[in-house]
Amino acid sequence: MTAVKRLYPLIACASILFSVVAVVAGQFGPDPYLDPLNVTISEYAVSDRGGVTEVAMAVLGVGSLALLAGLRATGAPVRGMPEWLLGVWSGALMVAALVPTTPIGADLDLAAQVHRYVSVAAFVSLPAAGALLVPRLASDERWKPVARVVEWVALAGGFGLLAITYVAMPGERVMIGLVERLLLGAEVALLGVLAGWLLWTTVSPRLSAGRLVPFGDRGVARERERVAAGSALGGASWRSAA
């Protein structure tokens, strides 16, 4: 495996960790009169003078792209719709970070409308990607150990998506900040599981079951050589016995 492939999970894990810490830290910076339980992260970010929240969103988007690149480079079962949805999530995050919404109570301008739609796209795409990945991961020997965890966090993200849809429309935004933060927590957890397992498979060829799993072209080549050598030895032993 090339050094570049090994860098992808490192970048992804570091970006996710940085984003979580930055978002939490950003909650203490804006106007103390803002209630995080009833104010969305985007609205909180408008009053964040240091721009910590926007930076965290952009970094998380970059880290998600690195995660997607790492999954593809190592042959993880993400081809097709899951990789497209992960790409939508990553791109939407970066656009939302660059195009802020309007302050609370102000009319929505064009930039705020763009921010709203890309935020919706981000929130919807990641739980959908997780749901599509579950059967694929379960049928892949390298990823089977985390398939159930991915299923749990994807399900939590789905419930969170339903909850924020209700709160944002008939629920009149009551506790929308809390619901959004819980949804985002489930989605970041999904990214964390994928990035963490990707990193684990790159640094250790032996998974939790204790069985050697070839990973990368060199690993596959070594496994083929071992099987071929074993077959040749078995054939020689059979001929000697005969």
**Mutual orientation of helices 176-203 and 52-73 as an angle, nearest 10°?**
40
Indicate the burial class of 174 (C-beta count within 10 angstroms; 0-12, 13-18, 19 or more). exposed
Please report the pLDDT score of residue 49 as a whole number.
Answer: 54
pLDDT for 112: 84
Q: How many domains does the chain have?
A: 2
pLDDT tens digits for the chain (242 residues)? 566 677 999 999 999 999 999 888 777 765 666 777 888 888 777 766 557 888 899 999 999 999 999 999 988 999 999 999 999 999 999 999 888 887 776 777 888 889 889 999 999 999 999 999 999 999 999 999 999 999 999 999 999 999 999 998 888 788 888 999 999 999 999 999 999 999 998 887 554 333 434 334 444 445 544 544 554 444 444 344 44
Determine the structural domain holding residue 9 and report its residue range: 3-207
The C-alpha atoms of residue 119 and residue 42 are separated, in whole angstroms, by 9
Residues 135, 217: one domain?
no
pTM strictly above 0.85: no
Tokens of 70: 């790492």
Same-domain pairing of 164 and 239: no
144 and 28 in a common domain: yes
Q: How far apart are CA 171 and CA 13, in angstroms?
A: 35
Q: pLDDT at position 79, please?
A: 93
Q: Are residues 145 and 187 in the same domain?
A: yes
One domain for residues 111 and 225: no
**pLDDT for res 128:** 96
